């Protein structure tokens, strides 16, 4: 890539990476424009989007508790069809999440610890509705308000 200028090539622009906590999914189904704009950028390949299996688990059970199983199943399937990557849990991610839980006792849910760990590993920005996560200042965050 050293000779890019000589040949008229450009280095590819580095895309932003956005990592979704559970809260923004609820905002999406409530019709929130902030979340829609971010998801549109991901769909148009202007940026990359990620979430963690644990966040989908949390979204499903919280939706099921409030709106019933049928709604939870439909919305869960809908999220799986979004244009972003759903990251599995592995040994490295589990270790970092466990360490974060240990350091920040009582301040993070397990799902929060996983998505923060993933964001940290992949060097991205966490999209969240939880001010506690933003206040901990572990990773760059974009705090969305209800």
Long-range contacts formed by 120-125: CB under 8 A, 24+ apart? 120/96, 121/92, 121/93, 121/96, 122/17, 122/19, 122/50, 123/17, 124/16, 124/17, 124/18, 124/19, 124/48, 124/50, 125/16, 125/17, 125/18, 125/19
Residue 140 confidence (pLDDT):
97
What pLDDT tens digit does each residue of the chain (146 aa) get?
444 444 555 545 568 999 999 999 999 999 999 999 999 999 899 999 999 999 999 999 999 999 999 999 999 999 999 988 999 999 999 999 999 999 999 999 999 999 999 999 999 999 999 999 999 999 999 999 87
**Tokens at 54, concatenated:** 């644990």
Domains of the chain, with CATH numbers? 15-143 (3.40.50.1010)
pTM reported for the whole predicted model: 0.86
Residue 146 confidence (pLDDT):
75
């Amino acid at each position: 890539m050293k000779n890019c200028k000589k040949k008229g090539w450009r280095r590819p622009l580095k895309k932003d990476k956005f990592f979704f906590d559970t809260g923004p999914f609820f905002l999406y189904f409530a019709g929130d424009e902030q979340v829609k704009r971010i998801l549109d950028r991901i769909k148009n390949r202007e940026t990359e989007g990620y979430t963690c299996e644990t966040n989908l688990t949390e979204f499903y059970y919280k939706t099921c508790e409030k709106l019933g199983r049928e709604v939870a199943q439909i919305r869960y399937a809908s999220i799986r069809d979004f244009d972003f990557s759903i990251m599995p849990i592995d040994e490295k991610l589990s270790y970092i999440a466990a360490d974060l839980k240990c350091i920040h006792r009582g301040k993070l849910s397990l799902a929060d610890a996983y998505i923060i760990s993933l964001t940290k590993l992949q060097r991205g920005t966490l999209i969240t509705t939880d001010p506690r996560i933003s206040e901990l200042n572990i990773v760059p965050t974009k705090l969305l308000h209800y």
